[in-house]
Amino acid sequence: MRQSHQLPLVGLLLFSLIPSQLCTICEVSLENYSCLTVLPLLNTMINSKYARGIQAANVLLSLRLVGIQDQSLERQVIQEVKENEEKKGLDLTSGQLALVVLSLGACQNSDETITYVHLVSQLEKKFQEEIKNMVTHNGNPLTNYYQLSLDVLALCLFNGKYSVTEVNKYFTPENKNFYFGSQFSVDTGAMAVLALTCVKRSIINGQIKASEMDLKHINNYIESLVKKILHEKKENGLIGNVFSTGEAMQALYVSANYYNQTEWDCQQTLRAVLKEISQGSFHMPIAAAQILPALFGKTYLDVNNSFSCGSGSFNISIHKPSPVEPSSSSSWISVNYTVKINKTYSTNVTVKNGSVFLDVMKRAQQINETVFRFTYVETSWGPYITSVQGLEANSNDRTYWELLSEGKPLSQGVGSYVVHNGENLEVRWSTY
């Protein structure tokens, strides 16, 4: 994405307004780095089409936590909620609604009259629907455990009703829903740590009743999940992958009593993140939104405490990026595209240089619609493949369409992974 010519001016304003102490992350001076490092993140968050409507909740939450007010984003989220309410019911997943509650309830002044409060009761119902689905479908929620953790976190922070007994039952660290195949999901585990930490604090503070055994279980769960998160730390300091690192940092911020200081070099992780930012890795607004709070030493547990939120109080405007001039001469590349279910179907596809995985799938569908037809939905992470050849992904069966390159799973989505000449691409019917 081409940067707006106006953004550097906004950036200089932000730099002048951000308190100097906010440049200290993990209580370590950055020395060779400045707060201008966050400007590419802000550019991504405020200019992308994936930061509109209900999807703006992620961005709004992140900006509020670090002290940036954006009334345009607030209006977008509120309007989307109103439009959903005009339907028969809120047409949102439980996790989406939880993010709305968190974003609209975050860092509010006492005189604000946002309508998020009644949404908590809606979230209570959706959370119970998740629990009911797990009872009837072999422990599988309607969505996933990342969203389930968001539900518990939002309900905990905003005094919603939830059962500590159910939390203890379903958040056992060995639960299959913390894994994607055999791989532990770092961002899911991190969100669970944040949720469980909130529940733990509520029990200790007497805000919710629970037995000593309940508290002991929650402590054990947090400790175990933190160990699993640290086990996924890479040599360069990233935790899991570049996109899960931000939430992993949040989880480790709030759980320092569960690991030794020698087990995590926060400054090393920070350097790795800053390097990834400079290389443009956080080009999706949700990715930028998830890493930004950690850079400022903030976590989602700060959302209902305006004192703990970013002390900056300033406005930014959304500037649309300047249109990209078309190239005078476009080059073309050829890739091999395969769909694998019970049988394997392959074709050679020619697309423009710079195309993404989704472009390849669209071109293959034009070549042979019977074999390569597919559907997708737009999410905050961009397009998500829902079916191929009419075979739909199903959370109850824990099935999905896996994206691979040269036989290896991709960490980027179908709308963001840029393909290369001669590459072997595959969508595979898989379980997690």
Distance, CA of 378 to CA of 111 (rounded, Å): 35
pLDDT at 71: 78
Mean pLDDT, the chain, whole residue set: 83
Is 93 annotated among the ligand-binding residues?
no
Is 128 annotated among the ligand-binding residues?
no
Higher pLDDT, 90 or 300: 300
Q: Provide the token pair at 8.
A: 């550097």
DSSP codes of every residue in 290-315: HHHHHHTT--GGGTT-TTTS-S--EE
Q: Is the pLDDT of residue 112 over 60?
A: no
Question: 321 exposed, middle or buried (CB, 10 Å; 0-12, 13-18, 19+)?
Answer: middle
Q: Is the pLDDT of residue 150 over 80?
A: yes
Q: What distances in angstroms separate CA 294 from CA 30, 113, 184, 257, 328, one per listed residue?
A: 14, 28, 21, 18, 42
Distance, CA of 340 to CA of 259 (rounded, Å): 43
What residues does each domain of the chain span? Answer: 7-315, 332-431
Is 145 annotated among the ligand-binding residues?
yes
Distance, CA of 381 to CA of 288 (rounded, Å): 11
- Region 39-56: mean pLDDT is 78
Is 384 annotated among the ligand-binding residues?
yes
Is 116 annotated among the ligand-binding residues?
no
Instruction: Band the pLDDT of 11: cuts 50, 70, 90.
Output: very low
190: which residues sit within 8 A by CB, 6+ positions away? 229, 244, 247, 248, 250, 251
Is 401 annotated among the ligand-binding residues?
yes
CB 153 within 8 A of CB 191: yes
Question: 49 exposed, middle or buried (CB, 10 Å; 0-12, 13-18, 19+)?
Answer: exposed
Distance, CA of 269 to CA of 205 (rounded, Å): 32
7-315: in CATH 1.10.760.10: no
Distance, CA of 105 to CA of 305 (rounded, Å): 10
Amino acid making up residue 244: S
3-state secondary structure of 70: coil
Tens digit of each residue's pLDDT (9 = 90 or more) over 337-392: 999 998 999 999 999 998 999 999 999 999 999 999 999 988 777 789 999 999 99
Higher pLDDT, 38 or 19: 38
12: which residues sit within 8 A by CB, 6+ positions away? none
Distance, CA of 207 to CA of 218 (rounded, Å): 16
Is 230 annotated among the ligand-binding residues?
no
Residue 7: CB atoms within 10 Å: 19
pLDDT at 317: 46
Q: Is the pLDDT of residue 108 over 80?
A: no
Distance, CA of 154 to CA of 105 (rounded, Å): 9
* Strand-strand pairing, 374-379 and 382-388: antiparallel
Tens digit of each residue's pLDDT (9 = 90 or more) over 185-202: 999 999 999 999 999 999
Angle at 90 between CA 111 and CA 88, to 5 degrees: 120
Q: Which fold has domain 332-431?
A: Ferric Hydroxamate Uptake Protein; Chain A, domain 1 (2.170.130)
Is 264 annotated among the ligand-binding residues?
no
Is 300 annotated among the ligand-binding residues?
no
Is 385 annotated among the ligand-binding residues?
yes
Element (H, E) at 385: strand 382-388
Higher pLDDT, 22 or 263: 263
Angle at 293 between CA 287 and CA 296, to 5 degrees: 135
Is 389 annotated among the ligand-binding residues?
no
Tens digit of each residue's pLDDT (9 = 90 or more) over 207-259: 999 999 999 999 999 999 999 999 999 999 999 999 999 999 999 999 999 99
CB 153 within 8 A of CB 171: no
Is 187 annotated among the ligand-binding residues?
yes
Higher pLDDT, 47 or 212: 212
306: which residues sit within 8 A by CB, 6+ positions away? 107, 108, 109
Percentages of the chain per state (helix, strand, coil), in multiples of 5: 45, 15, 40
CA torsion 425-273-15-18 (nearest 10°) is: 120
Amino acid making up residue 255: S
Element (H, E) at 120: helix 119-136
Angle at 376 between CA 373 and CA 380, to 5 degrees: 160
CB 90 within 8 A of CB 84: yes
Is 402 annotated among the ligand-binding residues?
yes
Percent share of the chain, pLDDT over 90: 57
* Strand-strand pairing, 332-340 and 179-180: unpaired
Amino acid making up residue 424: N
What's the start-to-end Cα distance of the chain, in Å? 32
Instruction: Band the pLDDT of 29: cuts 50, 70, 90.
Output: very low
pTM above 0.85, yes or no: no
216: which residues sit within 8 A by CB, 6+ positions away? none
Instruction: Band the pLDDT of 23: cuts 50, 70, 90.
Output: very low
pLDDT at 36: 55
CB 423 within 8 A of CB 408: no
